[in-house]
Structure formats: structure tokens, C-alpha cells
Amino acid sequence: MKHIALKIGDFYFFENFVLVEYAKEAIISMRALHEIKTKGLGQFANNKPFGLIVNKIHPFNTVPTDAMQLEKEIPNLVATAVVSEDLTKTVNFDLENHFFKKINRRLFSSLEEAEAWINEKVEAKKNSYTK
């Protein structure tokens, strides 16, 4: 496991996914994610599929229109799980989904459920490469 702390949040790197805990009131955009893309995503080079788990412990804002750019710049990101103990605080999730065309996204109330789902999606993608 590798950990990178940035102004926008903490990023924890595992075999099949990145767990992120964004900072309170952070604005998440492709510009803000550029640093983590260059510093941390090297382990997922060569189109190795991976997932993203967002542990929503603080409120933050996203730039939904950056979704298309994210899918283009990081094509091996296959799934995103958003974890929140209070699913009523994820109202932007549905809005954001309208901008994602390739990345499978889902809400969860526990990290364990999110991790199991992410690992399932990533392994399925890996297996599709070997067929």
C-alpha cells in the first residue's frame, strides 16, 4: 500500500484500486487531479484496469463536466464506488452519472461492500483481456 497526501485529499493505493478521502470543501476537477495522476497512477500503467473508491467523509464539490476528460485521460479506470454513511448526502451522484459514459459507478454505505464490488469489476476486466 502506498499513501499520498495532497491538498485535495488523501490517496491510498492498493493492488486493484485507489481509495481517496477528499479534503473538506475540496473542488475536484481534472486540474486538481493532475498531481495525483502524475505522482500516483504509475502502478496502473500499461492500461492495467483499476477502480476508485471515494470514501465521502467530508463534503466536497466536483466539476461534473470533467467526466469526459477523465474517461479519455485515464481509460483503464473501470469503476468508481462512492461510500457514504448517509446516502441522502450524495445528491450530486445522479447528476454526475449523466456525464460518465464508460466508467461504471455505484453508491455504497460501507467500505467493505465497495471494495468487494470494485475488485469484482476490476478482475472481470482483467479476465476479459485474457480471453
Count: domains in the chain:
1
* Domain housing 67: 2-114
pLDDT digits (tens), the chain, 131 positions = 899 999 999 999 999 999 999 999 999 888 888 888 888 778 887 789 999 999 999 988 888 778 778 888 888 999 999 998 876 555 566 656 656 667 788 999 999 999 999 999 999 998 886 65
Q: Is residue 124 part of a domain?
A: no
Alpha helices in 1-131 (DSSP H): 30-40, 67-73, 92-97, 111-130
CB 27 within 8 A of CB 64: no
Q: Give the CATH number, domain containing residue 39.
A: 3.30.750
Q: Is residue 120 part of a domain?
A: no
Beta bridge partners of residue 2, listed in sequence order:
13
SS3 at position 81: strand
Cell of 48: 492495467
Q: Is residue 128 part of a domain?
A: no
